[in-house]
Structure formats: C-alpha cells, structure tokens
Amino acid sequence: MSRRSTGRGLLLLPPLLMLLVALAVLWRDSEDGLRPLLGLRAQVRDARARVVLLEARAAELQRDADAMRSDELAVEAAARSLLGMVRPGEIVVRLDAPEAP
C-alpha cells in the first residue's frame, strides 16, 4: 500500500510544481500578473467609495436646487451668503480680522 501512495504522490508532484511556477510567474509579472490585479481591485474599491460620496453630494445639491426653485428665502439666503448681496436700505458692517504683520 505504501508503494501505491508513493507512486501517486510522485504523479502529483509535476503538476503541483508547474502550478507553483505558474503562480510565481503570475505574481512577478508586473503588467499582467496578480499584483496589478490586486491593485486594480483596490482602485475599484476606492472609486466605489468616491461614487457613494459624490452621489450624496449630488443629492444635497439637488435639494438645494429644488429649494431655490420653490423657496424665496432660500434664494435670499444664497444671495446673501454666496454673493454678499443685501436688500435696499440695509447697512452692511463688515468686521474683518486684523491682518497679521
């Protein structure tokens, strides 16, 4: 019985060695190997996370745009904060921090 298992083991040795050599070649290949594949997977993961953030930002901007279409106070608040606009007759007093010497 030990002869049979030794013979089978020897038959499996060349394919296992070929598999190990193929894996080593794939790992070392800098263009088409496993390392670039793993790097691409990381890039895809990062891109998906960025897409989630951008979708959230797009939804926020859509809400702002909808508010601008339907709410005059939202338009006024945006004009005041973004453009520095004031209503006629209002007095603006700007308190700027002193400049560093």
Question: Mind listing the pLDDT tens digit for each residue in 56-84?
Answer: 999 999 999 999 999 999 999 999 889 98
Q: What is the pTM of this model?
A: 0.51
> What φ, ψ does residue 37 adopt, rounded to 5°?
-65, -45
User: Looking at the predicted structure, is the pLDDT value of residue 98 above 70?
Assistant: yes
Sign, Cα dihedral of 53, 59, 63, 68: positive
1-31 tens-digit pLDDT: 455 556 666 777 778 888 888 877 766 766 7
Cβ atoms of 26 and 33 within 8 Å: the answer is: yes
